[in-house]
Amino acid sequence: MTKKIFIAGLGLIGGSLALAVKAGHPKAEIIGFDLNEKAMKLASSLQIIDHAADSLAGAEEADFIIIAAPVESSLTVMDELAGLSLKEGAVITDVGSTKQSVVEKACVFAGSGAIFIGGHPMAGSHKSGVEASRERLFENAFYVLTPGPDVTDSMLIKLQNLLRGTKAKFLRLEAADHDRYAGLISHLPHIIASALVHEVEEAGKEEPLVQQLAAGGFRDITRIASASPTMWRDILVHNKETLLPMLESWKNRLHGIEQLLREDDSEGIYAFFERAKSSRDKLPSRQKGAMLPFYDLFVDIPDHPGVISDVTGLLAVQNISITNIRIIEAREGIMGVLRLSFRSESDLIYAKQVLEEHMYETYEAP
């Protein structure tokens, strides 16, 4: 019998999950709903979904319901779903970046015959909207599942089987553990990156040159600050109790660095950076986690008209998609460097092979 999957929220994540589910279950019927009618029409025309629903009531016949919305919106959707006559044994999941509030809200489904399992696919893109959806978005990424105490192993396996087309690495965590880990490796860095952008913006009001200089390395290390303000507002509000102690710890660490500078403690300053370098060098370099990895390839290019179109043309012929391109250095009479960003490691490796066959010198970041 054809399984019906209802997806509430047709953005990048909802659309990509629809494609991944269809890849794993070609006969599945994907029903989509979004408050944005344009997104629904686009999802239909791009054949990301099979049918568009008029309302959340379209979930009543679904075997699986995926809530692909920011946390605050997801909580509202859960309340509305609880008021419907859902199918007995239907599995409901979400994709929110915080899990405790969502798992606690799952009590609204008690006695309904439906089962809720919290979820968080830890992958994303610099692009947004259903038009940016792609089947491989979650490949090799961690996909965290946070089942409540009443969820059996067979129920969990049922959801994992549905999501097998994502080719993600499933990880079971308690909701509190997920929020703590995500707070440290994703939420806190976003706060810091955004604060740095504010700092440069304020300085730029008095010294405009600052913002011009920030177009290089500073833009790179703060690119995560470009994420959706709505999503990050919800994340901070719902992970408040986890983030407050982390922020306090961060302030103490900054105070420690301040003291090293005041005391001219060069050995202490060296030890600070040496320890950070050693620790970072041990981190997995090509594994997707809470923050999107960057598959960057650097290409030395001669100062010659048409060289950039030559590089991109060679890759286009091989159907290798470039997600971002930047000229790091290009001054008259000297060689420049192109930084090409790809959506996957396999694309990077293939691009490197193609360009080197055409006598371009390439290298990856250490």
What pLDDT sits at residue 125? 65
Same domain for 199 and 60 = no
Domain at 216, CATH number: 1.10.3660.10
Can you tell me the distance from the alpha carbon of 301 to that of 311, in angstroms, rounded to the nearest whole number? 9
Whether 217 is in a domain gets the answer yes
Whether 355 is in a domain gets the answer yes
Whether 287 is in a domain gets the answer no
Can you tell me the distance from the alpha carbon of 310 to that of 106, in angstroms, rounded to the nearest whole number? 54
Same domain for 158 and 113 = yes
Same domain for 334 and 236 = no
* Tokens at 198, concatenated: 């504010």
* Tokens at 38, concatenated: 């344009």
**CB-hemisphere CA count at 13 Å for 237?**
12
Same domain for 97 and 182 = no
Same domain for 277 and 158 = no
What pLDDT sits at residue 166? 94
What pLDDT sits at residue 51? 95
**Count of other CB atoms within 10 angstroms of residue 126:** 15
What pLDDT sits at residue 293? 58
Same domain for 130 and 31 = yes
Domain at 8, CATH number: 3.40.50.720
Domain at 299, CATH number: 3.30.2130.10
Same domain for 36 and 165 = yes
CB–CB of 299/351 below 8 Å? Answer: no
**Count of other CB atoms within 10 angstroms of residue 265:** 13
Same domain for 311 and 276 = no
Same domain for 198 and 163 = no
Same domain for 53 and 165 = yes
Strand intervals (E) in 156-290: 169-172
Whether 164 is in a domain gets the answer yes
CB–CB of 336/327 below 8 Å? Answer: yes
Same domain for 306 and 185 = no
Whether 290 is in a domain gets the answer no
Q: Which of 251, 281, 311 is the last residue of a domain?
A: 281
Residue-by-residue pLDDT tens, the chain, 366 positions = 789 999 999 999 999 999 999 999 999 999 999 999 999 999 999 999 999 999 999 999 999 999 999 999 999 999 999 999 999 999 999 999 999 999 999 999 998 999 999 999 988 765 678 888 889 889 888 999 999 888 988 899 999 999 999 999 999 999 999 999 999 999 999 999 999 999 999 998 889 888 888 876 788 788 888 888 888 898 999 999 999 999 999 999 999 999 999 999 999 999 999 999 999 888 765 555 555 556 788 888 876 778 888 999 999 999 898 878 887 654 444 457 888 988 777 889 999 999 998 888 888 765
Total domains, the chain: 3
Whether 256 is in a domain gets the answer yes
Same domain for 252 and 205 = yes
CB–CB of 32/51 below 8 Å? Answer: yes
Whole-structure pTM over 0.85, yes or no? no
Q: Which of 255, 281, 307 is the last residue of a domain?
A: 281
Single-letter amino acid, residue 155: M
Query: CB under 8 Å to 290, separation ≥6 — which residues?
Result: 122, 142, 181, 182, 185, 186
Q: Which of 120, 140, 174 is the last residue of a domain?
A: 174
CA 75 to centroid of chain Cα atoms: 20
Domain range for 85: 4-174
Whether 160 is in a domain gets the answer yes
Phi and psi, residue 132, nearest 5°:
-90, 0
Whether 286 is in a domain gets the answer no
CB–CB of 130/40 below 8 Å? Answer: no
